[in-house]
A and B are shown apart, each in its own frame.
Chain A
Amino acid sequence: MGWLDKLGLKKEEKLDKGVEKSREGLLNKIGKSIAGKDKIDDATLDDLEDALISSDVGVKTTIEIIDRLEKRVARDKFITQNELQQIMREEITALLKENRPDQPAEFDADFPAKPHVIMIVGVNGVGKTTTIGKLAHLYKKAGKNVMLGAADTFRAAAVDQLKIWSERADVPIIQQGQNADPSAVAYDTVASAKSRNADVVLVDTAGRLHNKKSLMEELAKIKRVMGKVVDGAPHEILLVLDASTGQNAMQQANAFTDVVDVTGLVLTKLDGTAKGGIVIGVSNELNVPVKYIGVGEQIEDLQVFERDGFVKALFGE
C-alpha cells in the first residue's frame, strides 16, 4: 500500500491556524462524541461535513453521505468508535462503483476482445498522455503486446510527448504528425493493432473543455471510426480527472459521458495535497468505477484504485 503511506503521512497545511481543525483524528473525535448514542449530534456532523467538503466531495454528495450515515446510526446504533468508522467507510465506499468484469483493472487479466482498445479522454492538462505512458509500461510488464495511437494532433508537440513515452515504455506508436485528422490516426492505430495482433491499444486524444461542442463532436467521431475496424472498439473509455479539480469535474464527467460513454475514471495527481473527493459523486451519479490513480510523474507512478485506501486517505488516516 505504497500510496496510502504517502497520502497518510502527508501533513495537512493549515489554512488559518486556530480556525481549521486538524483533520487528523477526526474519526476519534466523532467516535468520542457519539459513542452509545442513536443520533449523531450537530457538532459531530459539522466535523464530518467539513472533512468531506474540504476534500472536494461537494455539498450534494456530502449531504447524501450524512443522510445515509444518520439512517444507519438510527437503525443499527453503534457503540464503539471502530463501529462508527466502519459504518462511515462502508457508506462512502458504497457510493464508489466497482469495476465491470469485462473491463478488469489488473494488468495481467485477460480481455474478452483482441485487440482491447482503450481511449483516453479529458479536459486540458489533467494527465492523459502521462497516464497512457504509465499504462503502456504496466501492461507491457504484465506480458501484453501494447500499441499507442497519437490522436492528439492538436496541442503543440503532443505527438513528440507521446513518442517519448512510447520509447520509455518500449512499445510501438502509430502517428501521423501534428494537425493530422485525429479520427484517421485512431482508425490507423486500431487497424495496425489488429493486423499486428496487439493485445492492448491505448489511444491518446487532445485535451478539450467539455463545453466546446465542436470538439466534443470530434471526440464522438474518433470513437465511432474505431468501431469500424474492430467490433465493440473502443472497449473502454477512460476519463482522466485531476485530483485538484473542484466541482467542475462533475460537469466534465457528465458531458464526456454524454458524447462518448465513459466506462471508467482515472484520478491523477494524488501525490499532492488534493484529495480528489469529487470522484465519489461522479462515480455514484454516473455509475462508473474509478480504475486507476496517478501518484507522480514517473512511469511507475500509477496504481489500481482501491476504495478502502481512498476512503481512509480522505480522512487523513
Chain B
Amino acid sequence: MFEDLSSKIESAVQSLKGQARITDVNIAETVREIRRALLDADVNLEVARRFTDEVKERVMGSDVLNSVNPGQQFTKIVYDEMVKILGEERSDIAVAHQPPTVILIAGLQGSGKTTFSAKLARYLKQENNRNPILAAADVYRPAAIDQLKTLAGEIDVPVYSIEQKDAVRVAKEAVSMAKSLALDTVIIDTAGRLHVDEKMMDEVAEIKSSVEPDEILFIVDAMTGQDAVNTAKAFNETIDFDGVVLTKMDGDTRGGAALSIRSVVEKPIKFMSTGEKLDALSPFYPDRLAQRILGMGDVVSLVEKAQQEYDEKQAKKLQEKITSDKFDLVDFYDQIQKIKKMGDISDLVGMIPGAGKAVEDADLSEDTFKPIEAIINSMTPEERHNPEILNGTRRRRIAKGSGTSVREINQLIKQFDQMKKMMKSMSKMGKMGQAMQGLKDLPFGK
C-alpha cells in the first residue's frame, strides 16, 4: 500500500545479487536508505548513525547474501536491532512496600501530562483495584487545576489542590492527605517545563526530594523531533526518572523519538497514550513501535482494536454462517454496525503512517454507510435473506424507498458478494484477527 523501509531494503539488496559477500562498498547504498528512513522517522541523527553502524557491523562478512531471501534477512536484522534497543521486556510501575505509592509525572509543555495522570488513575483503579488521589501541582498554567478536576470527576477520583502557587507544598500535602484517608496511590501532575529553565527544573527536583516518589514518569509527545535527546537527557539528569510514556500515538507519526530516547537514557518505555479520552492508554510493545518506525504501520494494534469489538461467540456464529454460505444482508448490516462501533474507521486506518492518502481516497467516514443502511432497510425480510431474488423491479422499488439509485444498489450487491467471498477465504485461515494479520503479510509476523 505504501512504500516502507523493508521494500527499499529488499530492492537495494536485490542489486547485490551475485556478489559473494557484503562489503563496505556494496552496502553503502542500503545503509544510506536505512539512515534516511530513520531520519524521516525523527530518529536523532547521531543515534541513527550509531544504529546503522551497528547494523552494518552485523551484516558485514555475514552470509546474508547467500540466504534464500537476502532482503528479508537483512530487514529482520534491522528490525531485531531496533526491538533490542526499544527494550525487549515490558516493565510495570513500582508499588511502594508502605502505601501510599507516590508517582510523579513530568515533562515539557503540552506533552500530555495532565491527561495521562488521569488515565493512569483510571487504569490503576480499574485494573489494580487501587484508590488513587491526584495532586494538582501545576500551579502556573491557566485553568490547569480545573482541567485536572474535570478529568478526575469523570473517573470519580479525588484531587488535592490549594489556592497558593506552591507546587512543592501541594505534592507534600497530597501525600499526607492520602495517608490520612488511607488512599494507596498519589499521582502528582506537574506543570510543563523546558529543560533549560533552571528555576522550573529546580522546582521539580525539589518536589522529588520532598515526596521521594516510588515512580517518576517522563511524558513525551511521540511527534517530537531531533531535540528529544536533549530534553530526555536533561530531565534524566535532574530527576532520574524511572520510565517514559509516549503520548499522541493515535497520530500518524513514526515515533522515532522513542528510539533516540532509549539510546541516550537507559530507561524503559512503559505506556503509550493513544487518544484524548481517558481509556485511551495501552502498555508499550517494542515490536509494534519498531514496525512503525520502519514505516510498516502499527498493524497489530489495529487488529487488536478490531478484535476488542468482536465478541468471540458472535464471531463463531458468524463463521459458521460464512462457511455454510448462509451469510446474508442481515448479517452484513450487523457487521456494518460493528464497524461503526469501532470508532471512526478512518481514525483506525489513519494510524498507519503513510496511509493518509489512501484513507482519503477510500473516503471511509460514517456517512459511507448511510446509503447502504437505507437500502437494506427498504428491503423485505425475504430480500435480505436471499439477495439473489433482487430483480430489476425489486431494485427500482428499493431505490425509490431508500432515496438511492439502482446503480447504488447494484454496487452494494457487488460489494456484498465480494465481501462474502473474502470472508469465506479468511475464515478458512482461522480467526478474523489472524486473517487480517495474514493479509498484511508481515515479514516478521510471529
Contact = CB atoms under 8 A, between A and B. Distances in A.
A156 interface: yes
Interface in B263-300: 264, 276
A210 B150 contact: no
A56 B151 contact: no
Contacts of B350: 211-213
Contacts of A126: 110
A157 B147 contact: yes
23 contacts: A13-B234, A15-B229, A54-B44, A59-B40, A123-B248, A155-B147, A157-B143, A178-B150, A211-B356, A212-B346, A213-B346, A213-B364, A214-B347, A217-B365, A242-B221, A246-B226, A247-B41, A247-B225, A248-B254, A251-B252, A255-B356, A273-B195, A297-B141
Given A59-B40, A125-B111, A210 B227 contact: no
Given A209-B250, A214-B366, A53 B39 contact: yes
A85 interface: no
Interface residues of A, number: 54
Nearest to B49: A19
Interface in A214-261: 214, 217, 242, 244-249, 251, 255
A41 B140 CA distance: 51
A156 B143 CA distance: 9
Chain A to chain B: the 10 pairs with minimum beta-carbon distance, closest first: A246-B225, A125-B110, A211-B350, A246-B42, A164-B142, A157-B146, A156-B150, A274-B227, A160-B143, A161-B143
Given A13-B230, A124-B276, A272-B195, 20 more contacts: A13-B234, A15-B233, A54-B226, A56-B225, A58-B40, A123-B251, A124-B248, A154-B276, A156-B151, A157-B149, A158-B143, A160-B147, A164-B142, A178-B150, A211-B351, A242-B223, A246-B224, A246-B226, A248-B42, A248-B253
A133 B46 CA distance: 38
Given A161-B143, A165-B142, A210 B251 contact: yes
A161 B110 CA distance: 14
Interface of A: 10, 13, 15-16, 19-20, 50, 53-56, 58-59, 123-127, 133, 154-158, 160-161, 163-165, 178, 209-214, 217, 242, 244-249, 251, 255, 269, 271-275, 278, 297
B444 to A, nearest CB: 24
Contacts of A53: 39, 45, 226
Contacts of A157: 143-144, 146-147, 149-150
B207 interface: no
Contacts of A211: 250-252, 346-347, 350-351, 356, 359
Contacts of A123: 223, 248, 251
B143 A55 contact: no
A246 B256 contact: yes
Contact of B146 (A56, A133, A156, A251): A156
Contacts of B9: none
B257 interface: yes
Interface residues of B, number: 61
A126 B276 CA distance: 15
Contacts of B223: 123, 242, 245-246, 248-249
B227 A272 contact: yes
A278 B225 contact: yes
Interface string B192-231: 0011100000000000000000000000010111111111
A249 to B, nearest CB: 8
B264 A15 contact: yes
A213 B365 contact: yes
Contacts of A249: 223
Contacts of A217: 365
Contacts of A158: 143, 147
Nearest to B225: A246
B110 A251 contact: no
B227 A214 contact: no
Given A245-B223, A246-B223, A271-B194, A124 B146 contact: no
B51 to A, nearest CB: 13
Contact of B36 (A59, A160, A210): A59
Interface string B330-345: 0000000000000010
A146 B384 CA distance: 59
A245 B224 contact: yes
A291 B12 CA distance: 42
B147 A161 contact: yes
A165 B142 CA distance: 8
A213 B110 contact: no
B132 interface: no
B147 to A, nearest CB: 4
Nearest to A164: B142
Contacts of B227: 56, 244, 272-275
Contacts of B150: 156-157, 178
Given A212-B350, A244-B225, A272-B231, A125 B109 contact: yes
